[in-house]
Amino acid sequence: MIEPGSETSVHCYQHEAMACTFGLGLVVDDERFARQVARAAFDELDRLEQLLSRFIPHSDIARINGLAPGQSVRVEPDTVECLRLAAQLQADTGGAFDIAFRSRRETPSDATAETVPPLVFDPTNHSVGVQMAGVVLDLGGLGKGYALDRIADLLREWGIFTALVHSGESTVSALGRPAEGAGWRVGLRNPEQHSETLDTLELSDYALSGSGQLLHGDHIIDPRGERPAAATAAAWALAPTAVVADALSTAFMVMSVQEVEQYCGRQADVSAILRTETHRGRELVYFGRKM
């Protein structure tokens, strides 16, 4: 996905977290300083994983998932922010993105479950409560993007404004631009043939995320009907933040082409690229401005 080009001062580092390999490319002259920054960035990444992973028993998300209706638990500000972003994206996409969709699948007999918001926030006590039984939150659709945004914030605090950060090369956040070109060169891989690049974008202070079905099978479910995504082979979303791009690339997989077009028409800072069937066969379809 990432094509760093010939920029010679990019110091690259990797770190395993959130079930993938995160990558960090820093444009700085001092390699020792770059290592210090990378260590701080990956420490922040590990901290966020301890909060947001539902697979870690004592994470904030696991503790929320263990609540009974009417109970609440005090969580960290990052967790609250992530959950609020998820709720906003769910509303914006008409339910095509939903971190609690597993809850309804595990409680199909409760006909009223879909009309009750599963979470309630108490900003005074920094707590989150649940309002229904069997709540299962899964931040896999935006947690990595959220982490990339926090790392980008940390890099700016350290005085680094030209860098590239990615999570397993599925979501990438580009800060500034390298010395050569209009931005960081990022390729769109063909989901049917990973060695083939379908298009190349140049990103600067923007994020790109991609989702597809072929690599892992029918793992993306439409929360609105609990059916696997079928209309689109792959989808990419471009947005000012990685968390929004990460979530929307998943949502665009289950939204119709018309829904994606309408969404990008409402959100001027969001663009979409779909690998879908047209009258000319399977090809890329673009909505919004092209980078």
DSSP letter for 59, please: S
Q: Which tokens in the block code for residue 232? A: 């689109």
Q: Give CA–CA dist 60/272, Å, rounded.
A: 32
Residue 73 CB contacts under 8 Å (≥ 6 apart), including other chains? 60, 63, 64, 67, 127, 128, 129
Query: Is the pLDDT assigned to residue 236 strictly greater than 90?
Result: yes
pLDDT band for position 112 (50/70/90)? very low
Radius of gyration of the CA atoms of the chain, in A: 19
Looking at every residue in the chain, the average pLDDT score rounds to: 88
**DSSP label at residue 186:** E
- pLDDT at position 123: 81
pLDDT tens string 134-168: 999 999 999 999 999 999 999 999 999 999 999 98
pLDDT at 196: 87
Give pLDDT, residue 182. Answer: 84
Checking if the pLDDT of 9 tops 70, the result is: yes
| Domains delineated in the chain | 60-140 (1.10.3980)
Per-residue pLDDT tens digits for 183-220 = 999 999 887 777 889 999 999 999 999 998 654 445 56
Which residue stretches of 66-210 are H helix?
Answer: 77-92, 101-106, 143-157
Distance in angstroms (rounded) separating the CA atoms of residues 213 and 210: 11
Report the DSSP pairing between strands 227-228 and 193-203. unpaired
Q: Is the pLDDT of residue 7 over 50?
A: no
- Mean pLDDT lowest among 74-83, 182-191, 254-263: 182-191
Of 114 and 78, the one with more pLDDT: 78
pLDDT reading at 21 higher than 50: yes
User: Binning pLDDT at 50, 70 and 90, where does residue 233 land?
Assistant: confident
- What lies within 8 Å, CB to CB, of 277 at 6+ separation is none
What confidence score (pLDDT) does residue 85 get? Answer: 96
**Residue 5 pLDDT > 60:** no
Rounded distance between C-alpha atoms, residue 149 and residue 53, angstroms: 17
- Cα dihedral: 21, 25, 29, 33 (round 10): -40
Task: Enter the pTM of the model.
Answer: 0.90
Give the pLDDT score at 229.
59
The more confidently predicted of residues 162 and 278 is: 162
Instruction: Say whether pLDDT at 105 is over 90.
Output: no
Could you tell me the CA-to-CA distances from 74 to 47, 65, 67, 104 in Å, in that order?
Answer: 17, 13, 12, 24
The amino acid at residue 230 is A
